[in-house]
Amino acid sequence: MPASHGTASPGDGTPPGDAVATHCPYCALQCAQTLTRTPADALLPVVVAGRQFPTNRGGLCQKGWTSAEVLRAKDRITTPLIRTADGGFREAGWDEALDLIATRLAALQTQYGKDAVAIFGGGGLTNEKAYALGKFARVVLGTRFIDYNGRFCMSSAAAASNRSLGLDRGLGFPLADLAGADAVLVVGSNMGVTMPPFVQHLAGVRERGGLVVVDPRETVTARLTHDDKGIHLAPVPGTDLVVLLALAHVVIAEGLTDGTYLERRTTGLDEVRRSVASWWPERAEAVCGIPADELRRTARLLAAASPSRGGRGAYILTGRGLEQMSQGTAGVTAAINLALLLGLVGTPGSGFGPVTGQGNGQGGREHGQKSDQAPRLPDDHGPRRTCPRRRRVGRGPRHPAGSGRPGHATA
């Protein structure tokens, strides 16, 4: 069905030629855009241009440049559709459609109970919409079944961060800070494809040969390590956790930890020592397939980059590839442990962070659409409490997937 031209502009009151500043709706970078309305006879209702912003620095990827094309897509739905008896659809007004939904929901809950209706949200919702959705589910519908798409990804990172750091956060530092680091470890993210403007922030660390990418495939991001720009570790699929435990083993065994940081700012170090003691590089190689010497070289690179050893800084980033495993929470915990062993978390020019996929994954889960996390004030004793000074170095599973022994499951 043809799209309605009246809904395709930056605003009905915006005359042709006037620009509206906004942001790309797709990934977590939220690249800044300018939409300029075009004359009525133009191919597209708006022209998209990049705008200066810390994440994209004026550039856009293909998704951003072509984002206006959906406004004239032939199959774009611009009015409610109600299914007919023959399996097709007919157009309807908003009043009819909303009345039908309300009537059917009420009837289903009357017949089968409040929990007969479930709500599923997404990380692209604003804080206000996420809060309203959670309120609608819990108060209006009275159902306990509400969740969002982050259950399949960021919930693992959130659980690990809460367990280790006492706080659920995405990147705890400006993206631009990556440029100054001597090393950046990326586990389970292919940002070269999923969020291309991200790559420009890795230019500095690549020039210093410090980009480390853990991915079974030779992805666009992994190829950024070619020509002595860094290290690509290609483990057997599903064994990323073994890689992280082996790196932690080397850091501890070779005395590369930040001892002062660990003493002053962490607890649980003895548990970590015990949990990684059995993952010496040669044993890890037998499971993950990465040569023991490469594991040692990577651990030494990260340690040399850490400020405690005179480096410019190091960052450890996790993505969906690690978080969506059956041991996603344990995997992210191991990444956090490695960052804590090196004294990175809370140190200027260094840090740990999960690379969020959508524009408001964190806001969405903090404002009501996550099943196990209700909205709360910052001073409540819950997931949004102030991060304690001493971080918990949590024990990862001693027998990760692929070793033939059971481990911890994801959130």
Contact 400, 407 (CB under 8 A): yes
pLDDT exceeds cutoff 70 at 389: no
Whole-number Å distance between alpha carbons of 183 and 59: 25
pLDDT exceeds cutoff 70 at 281: yes
Q: Where are the domains of the chain?
A: 5-72, 152-392
Query: How crowded is residue 287: how many other Cβ atoms within 10 Å of its Cβ?
Result: 22
**Is the model more confident about 377 or about 56?**
56
How is residue 125 written in tokens?
Answer: 């919702």
Sign of CA dihedral 172, 176, 179, 180: negative
Query: How crowded is residue 214: how many other Cβ atoms within 10 Å of its Cβ?
Result: 28
Tell me what pLDDT residue 289 has.
98
Whole-number Å distance between alpha carbons of 38 and 385: 47
Q: Pairing between strand 32-37 and 314-318?
A: unpaired
How is residue 277 written in tokens?
Answer: 């003691």
Whole-number Å distance between alpha carbons of 383 and 4: 43
| Burial of 51 per CB tally in 10 Å (0-12, 13-18, 19+) | buried
Q: How far is CA 175 from CA 38, 179, 338, 372, in A?
A: 34, 8, 20, 29
Q: How far is CA 407 from CA 31, 64, 90, 116, 242, in A?
A: 39, 41, 52, 34, 11
Which pLDDT band holds residue 394 (cuts at 50, 70, 90)? low
Candidates 103, 46, 54; CA nearest to 71 is 46
What's the rounded mean pLDDT across residues 361-374? 83
Which pLDDT band holds residue 96 (cuts at 50, 70, 90)? very high
What's the rounded mean pLDDT across residues 348-362? 89
pLDDT exceeds cutoff 80 at 257: yes
pTM given for the model: 0.85
Instruction: Please name the fold of domain 152-392.
Output: Dimethylsulfoxide Reductase; domain 2 (3.40.228)
Whole-number Å distance between alpha carbons of 171 and 23: 19
Q: Pairing between strand 19-23 and 46-50?
A: unpaired
Contact 398, 238 (CB under 8 A): no
Tell me what pLDDT residue 366 has.
84
pLDDT exceeds cutoff 80 at 396: no
pLDDT exceeds cutoff 90 at 182: yes
pLDDT digits (tens, 9 = 90+) for 117-164: 999 998 889 899 999 999 999 999 999 999 988 887 788 888 899 899
Contact 232, 222 (CB under 8 A): yes
Tell me what pLDDT residue 385 has.
34
How is residue 166 written in tokens?
Answer: 């006492």
| Burial of 90 per CB tally in 10 Å (0-12, 13-18, 19+) | exposed
pLDDT exceeds cutoff 50 at 246: yes
Which pLDDT band holds residue 356 (cuts at 50, 70, 90)? confident
Length of the chain: 411
Q: Which CATH superfamily is domain 5-72 in?
A: ADC-like domains (2.20.25.90)
Whole-number Å distance between alpha carbons of 345 and 300: 18
Contact 248, 344 (CB under 8 A): no
Sorted by sequence, the CB contacts under 8 Å of residue 9 that are 6+ apart come out as 37, 45, 46
How is residue 27 written in tokens?
Answer: 């990934």
How is residue 52 written in tokens?
Answer: 């200066």
